Structure 1
Amino acid sequence: MKKLLVLFLLLNHFCFAKTFRRLKFFDASNKAIHYVGRIDCSNPELPRFWSPGVYFYTTFVGPDCYVVLNDEVNYGVMHNYIEIVVDGKPRRIMLSAKTDTVWVAKNLSKGKHTLLVCKDTESGIGYLEVVGIGCRKLVNEKDSSKYLIEYFGDSITCGTSSDLSQTPCGAGRWEDQHNAYMSYGPTVARALNARWIISAVSGIGLIHSCCGMKITMPQVYDKLMLRNDSIEWNMNKMQPDVATICLGQNDGIQDSTKFCSAYVKFVKTLRSKYPNTTFILLTSPMADENLNKVLRNYLLSVQKEINNEGDKNVYHYFFKKRYYHGCDGHPDVDEHQQIAAELAPFIKQIKHW
């Protein structure tokens, strides 16, 4: 029995080695590989990104394909999760090494197949670098997305603490329940045939962040990884058609004048960067009854002031219920789909998409 197992492993290794050799390798700068999100492309051979939800996509010719990624392995122990989507079918995996060769397709048909790889984990888990893709051939086909939506927010928007499919709450590490791809933002975008950018980080607030965090969103919104020590992100690179702002959960109930004034100022700052973008101010999907009531009043006041000053391209949306069945009171993956099911029709209505 042992000899048979060894023989099987040797044959399996031989088959994959043979497959590996017959595939061509295309480095990360290949024009058939398209990138979306806050990405450091100072070295085009190794595009680097931290933010959850950053993704790249391409079309490859089957039957086999692999991706090579560098994982920062922050603090020597943290590994990023990624979503691999082949022909529209997603699967989530955790990387396991400093450099990972991930087989994304095996023994598919010999025709064309779509591939999308999305970073599921937050900035604090560390960066990813794309080394390249191995396959028979890459085909330079851009997706059919007509629009771009950016989502400013906190851990909810990141999809943190939402995915319990592999590790239950209270087990494993913090990053084990991250799933940006299945969070409400990308889900809305896919429903509306749009690309997405997640500009969010756990714990952050508008004027008060939680958990000892010393930054707020207005201080870091224009940084590559939304940290003070991060390099600046050129916001002219990708002008969104719509930008949502989902802040306030970590602020809690604040002085109304102080909070609303800061919110108005933040929207005006974003407007200076995005002159044609439609802004939507969101309540927190996990807010309790007291915070939800306060946030509704805040957002109505903020929108009214901005509209009265002549900017009519600012709206609000109040979520209909509380979503809190993930870890630490966050929405779980199913609830993110429900949140998206609320928000997508509203965006479609106001934008006439």
Structure 2
Amino acid sequence: MKIKVLFTAALLFAQVGWAQIQKTTDTIYATALRPFGRSLINKEHKLEMIGSAVHLGFKFEGSQCAVYVSVSNQGTHNYIQYELDGVYQKRIRIEGGLKDPIIINNLSKGSHTIWIYKATEAHTGAIIISKIAARNIKPVSLNKVPIIEFIGNSITCGAAADTSEVACGKGVYQDQHNAYMAYGPRVARALGLNYIMSSVSGIGIYRTWNLDGPSMPQVYENIDFQIDNQLKWDFKTYSPSIISIALGTNDLSNGDGKSPRKPFDEKVFTDDFVGFIRFIKLKYPKAQIALLSSPMVSGSSRAILEKCLSSIKSKVDVLYPGDKPVATFFFPLMQAHGCTGHPSVADHLILAQQLEPFFRKLMKK
């Protein structure tokens, strides 16, 4: 199919109508794209980018491309972010009901490669891509290198981290998400690895930050981590070499002061965590398991979490004597600068730098 595109020099990104499109280009449709991370092709043959930092790439020639991207519901919004020729650019707000494409323009002549990322987590809704148009456009696949899967909560999501456009306390929850700049993707890029993000704000191993559930073991199988979704994720899609689990912050939370909250139960936490690892090992028997503590938990709760993680490691190592021992990493305490006590984009760089030697060592085993 051929469409027309008008070069505009004023803005890097612009929303333009079909009548403005004037220059002939080529089109690739959603089914030809090669996304990495939790995603699906829906009944309308469009790509739904579901999980945090799901990403896809394409090459093209010329000074611009048109991305036909939307979110499902009118009156809502979500965010993508992108790399141009290996350099991170910015987040882009996508309004509900958007029909015109997002134009990436004002580029230099010649060939370009763009990677688009979902900036937000699964619970904020899917980013939907129907097609992308540019001259001589072709989809790009990631290099075949080892994969790290990062399982976690809002910290792992990169939630409440980016106040560059919307200040803390303003807008809605996803307005400060920046999955690309979260510690997991930063570590993976530093090590030259691929990555998957399996993270949900507020979630824990046996309860959430303020309620008794749903927990990560209850939703991990579901493609979008929603408790009532019957559509399961196909664990045969990827084979991670390392699975990093950073859960416990919300289990140890004191709650919101409104919902009933029992004291933290070490036995339930430990038993449920071991059960979750056993499930993961059924899906990924060769993966190295890595347990991370929380940079946000302090005082006696910090000691309890580290004690529990050490106990979980010991129990799993006994259950699987022929496997690689579970690895543990305990973060130094951090004074976070993001919203509501979360790490900021700058803080995530610090977390990634702390983690890089740990994961580099695991990759050599």
1: CA distance, partners of 2:20 / 2:40 = 35
Superposed CA deviations along residues 182-224 of structure 1, whole A, max 9, x for unmatched, are 1111111111112221111111110111234631011111111
Give 3-state SS (helix, strand or coil) of 1:167's partner. Answer: coil
Q: Partner amino acid for 2:79?
A: Y
User: 1:35 aligns to what SS in structure 2?
Assistant: coil
1:61·1:139 contact (CA, 8 Å) conserved in 2? no
Q: Which one-letter code corresponds to 2:77 in the other structure?
A: H
What does residue 86 of structure 1 align with? Answer: 84
What corresponds to 1:324 in structure 2? 336
* Structure 1 counterpart SS, 2:180: coil
Task: Using the TM superposition, name which of 18-27 and 114-123 deviates more.
Answer: 18-27
Cα distance in structure 1, aligned partners of 2:243 and 2:30 = 29
- Deviation, 1:141, is 4.2
Deviation at 1:96, TM superposition (A): 2.3
> Structure 2 stretches of 5 or more lacking a match?
1-8, 253-262
Contact kept in structure 2, 1:203 and 1:213, CA below 8 Å: no
What is residue 29 of structure 2 aligned with on the other side? 27
Partners of 2:134 and 2:57 lie apart in 1 by 14
Aligned-partner Cα distance in 2 for 1:323–1:274:
35
**Hey, what's the Cα distance between the residues in 2 that align with 1:142 and 1:44?**
23
Structure with the higher helix share, 1 or 2: 1
1:170 alignment partner, SS class: coil
For residues 212 and 20 of structure 1, the distance between their equivalents in structure 2, rounded to whole angstroms, comes to: 54
Report the CA distance shift for 1:20/1:225 in structure 2 as closer, same or farther (over 3 A).
farther
Amino acid at match of 1:287: V
Q: Where does residue 5 of structure 2 map in the other structure?
A: none
Cα displacement (A) at 1:306:
1.2
Structure 2 CA distance for partners of 1:215 and 1:113, relative to 1, 3 Å: same
User: Which of 284, 291, 300 is equivalent to 2:301?
Assistant: 291
SS in 2 for 1:334: helix
Q: Distance in 1 between matches of 2:172 and 2:82?
A: 21
Q: Percent identity?
A: 31
Question: How much has 1:17 moved relative to structure 2?
Answer: 6.3
**1:6-155 map, 5 Å:** 20-30=22-32, 33-43=33-43, 45-73=45-73, 76-87=74-85, 88-99=87-98, 100-110=100-110, 112-144=111-143, 146-155=145-154
| 1:17-63 deviation digits (Å, cap 9, x = unpaired) | 67643222221122xx3210111225483121322211111222222
CA distance in 1 between counterparts of 2:193 and 2:144 reads 5
Question: Partner of 1:56: helix, strand, or coil?
Answer: strand
Does the 8 A contact of 2:57 with 2:140 survive in 1? Answer: no
Please show how residues 233-272 of structure 1 align to structure 2 within 5 Å.
Answer: 233-252=233-252, 254-272=264-282
Shift in alpha-carbon separation, 1:280–1:232, aligned structure 2, 3 A: same
Provide the secondary structure at the position in 1 that maps to 2:132.
Answer: strand
Give the conservation status (yes or no) of the 8 Å contact 1:204–1:213.
no
Task: State the Cα RMSD in Å.
Answer: 2.5
2:260 aligned partner = none
1:244-268 CA deviation, whole Å, 9 max, x = no partner? 1011011007222221111111111
Q: Gaps (5+ residues) in structure 1?
A: 1-7
SS of 2:203's equivalent? coil
Q: Distance in 1 between matches of 2:198 and 2:228?
A: 16
Q: Distance in 2 between matches of 1:28 and 1:146?
A: 24
User: Does the Cα contact within 8 Å between 1:153 and 1:200 map onto a contact in 2?
Assistant: yes
2:184 is paired with a residue whose SS is helix
| Match for residue 315 of structure 2 among 305, 310, 313 | 305
Given that 1:34 and 1:56 are in contact with CA atoms closer than 8 Å, whether structure 2 keeps it comes out as yes
